[in-house]
Amino acid sequence: MADENCDIAPTWIENSALTAPALLGAAAGLLLGDLMHRGARRGVGIGLGALGIAALLPFVVGGVTDLVAGPRSKLGVRRKIQRIRDAGIVAPDYNEVEEQLREQGLL
């Protein structure tokens, strides 16, 4: 029984840790909303909204990138196959001595 509680507790703690800042921000907004002038509220609201969008942007870009070029997409599969094919191609060794001997006509 103790093991079941241990598995649930971290999920609950993580969820509460993620929702706590949003709840505190909403509470502060309700308490301080009437104290600010209308123009100041609008500016702060737009600024916080832009900050929230900027905070979510990396997740959105990562998700779209994974859909377009991820390992399960057509592009990702093609890229993986090309890497496998290119791994078998080895560049020939460049031997400076042989090149100089060829230039002199000895080889």
The owner of tokens 């093991």 is 3
d(CA 17, CA 33): 25
For the chain, give the percent of residues with pLDDT over 70: 84
The owner of tokens 């060829």 is 102
E-state strands within 1-107: none
Residues 54/60, Cβ–Cβ less than 8 Å? no
- Note the pLDDT tens digit of each residue in 21-72: 888 888 888 777 888 888 888 888 788 778 878 878 888 888 888 888 888 8
Residues 69/75, Cβ–Cβ less than 8 Å? yes
Is the pLDDT at 2 greater than 70, yes or no? Answer: no
Degrees, nearest 5: CA angle 56-58-23: 25
Is the pLDDT at 1 greater than 50, yes or no? Answer: no
Residues 107/98, Cβ–Cβ less than 8 Å? yes
pLDDT, residue 10, reads 65
pLDDT, residue 6, reads 54
d(CA 5, CA 9): 6
